[in-house]
Amino acid sequence: MHLILRHETSYAYDAPARSVIQLLRLTPRPHEGQHIRRWRIEVDRDATLRPHEDCFGNLVHAFGAEGSFQTLTIAVEGEVQTEDTNGVLRGTIERLPLGLYLRQTDLTTPDEAICAFAMEVTKAKTTLDGLHALTVAIHERLRFDTQATDATTTAQRAFAEGHGVCQDFAHIFIAAARSLKIPARYVGGYMRHADGTEDYEAGHGWAEAHVPDLGWVAFDPANAACANDAYLRVACGLDYLDASPVRGVRTGGLGETLDVRISMREAGAQQ
């Protein structure tokens, strides 16, 4: 699929911001199912974007801006060619040993309920079948609700309350997989809905788990499916925090409002 993406993150402040420093994980890296044709990030302030690669293989841009400003916009624009590999990833940049992806974090640490759920759902199944079953079971068990949780919600809480957004679904999947000693990680990016929707309010989050003989495989419990060519993979990490598109701190800038606009369309499709 030839995807064209535009993602604008705009901040507006009641009182001017005096300085801001951010880390952006907004640049996809190529793998066998994902070819980057064109990609650029722009910040509407006088600032240099300094790139580096983090330990998860993500391309990170750091920038800082000083002065006095009422708004700040980070705009991302690009074109990517994707292929459906049934979720199987090849050619990703791997810097860390697999064992590290067994480590739970504050957001993923499972409680007994998640561990029992993971055992029950995967009982007498191969690793791959178990992970598929887990993907479906989480989808069935949780209600999608964009109001119920936020970026700091833990897997335990979302699971107990039975609702959340894609990020919560992914954290529960990761918590469960790791509790079964299957390496797993969080992935942030974008997903184009099958109905051809072009405008989105948020990016997407899913999970990858490591399956013997196959390698990393992408599972999306929010959609009860493996990732395919409608997915654009941007960053990964132990949890959402490691892969979040923007992490920043500012001084001044009281009364911040955030506006995110994402448009994603297929090249050649009707506009």
Partner 1 sequence: MGTTSFDEMNGHDGDCRQAYAELQAWLEETPKELLEQRRVEAEALFRRIGITFAVYGAENAEERLIPFDLVPRVLTAGEWKRLFDGLVQRVQAINALIVDLYGDAEILKAGLIPEEMIYANPAFRPEMVGIDIPQAVPVVIAGIDIVRTGPDEFFVLEDNARTPSGVSYMLDNREVSHLLFPDLIARHRIRPVESYADELLAVLESLAPRNARDKPTIAVLTPGSFNSAFYEHSFLADKLGVELVEGRDLFVRDDELFMRTTEGPKRVDVLYRRVDDDFLDPLTFRPDSMLGVPGLFSCYRSGSLTLANAVGTGIADDKAIYSYMPDIVRFYTGEDPILGNVPTWRCREPAALSHVLENLADLVVKEVHGSGGYGMLVGPAASKKERATFAAKLKADPDNFIAQPTLALSTCPTFVDGGIAPRHVDLRPFVLTGADGTRIVPGGLTRVALREGSLVVNSSQGGGTKDTWVLED
Which region among 45-53, 125-133, 163-171, 193-201 touches partner 1 (by CB under 8 A)? 45-53
Burial (CB < 10 A; 0-12, 13-18, 19+), residue 227, is buried
Q: Please give the structure tokens belonging to residue 125.
A: 């199944």
- Among 247, 256, 267, 269, contact with partner 1 (rule: CB under 8 A): 247
19 binds partner 1 (CB under 8 A): yes
Q: Which residues contact 105 (CB under 8 A, 6 or more apart)?
A: 238, 239, 241
Which region among 62-70, 113-121, 157-165, 169-177 touches partner 1 (by CB under 8 A)? 62-70
The least distance separating partner 1 from the CB of residue 50, rounded to whole angstroms, comes to: 6
Number of residues that bind partner 1 (CB under 8 A): 25
Q: Of 46, 2, 8, whose CA–CA distance to 24 is shortest?
A: 8
- Among 38, 46, 99, 255, contact with partner 1 (rule: CB under 8 A): 99
| Closer of 116 and 269 to partner 1 (Cβ) | 116
| Closer of 183 and 203 to partner 1 (Cβ) | 183
Q: Which residues contact 213 (CB under 8 A, 6 or more apart)?
A: none
212 binds partner 1 (CB under 8 A): no
The least distance separating partner 1 from the CB of residue 150, rounded to whole angstroms, comes to: 13
115 binds partner 1 (CB under 8 A): no
Strands 143-144 and 163-164: parallel
254 binds partner 1 (CB under 8 A): no
- Among 36, 75, 102, 115, contact with partner 1 (rule: CB under 8 A): 102
Whole-angstrom distance, CA of residue 66 vs CA of residue 56: 29
27 binds partner 1 (CB under 8 A): no
- Among 37, 50, 143, 261, contact with partner 1 (rule: CB under 8 A): 50
100 binds partner 1 (CB under 8 A): yes
Alpha-carbon separation of residue 247 from 20, 63, 132, 255 (angstroms): 11, 11, 32, 18
Residues making contact with partner 1 (CB under 8 A) = 19, 21-23, 48, 50, 52, 54-56, 62, 64, 66, 95-97, 99-100, 102-103, 238, 241, 247-249
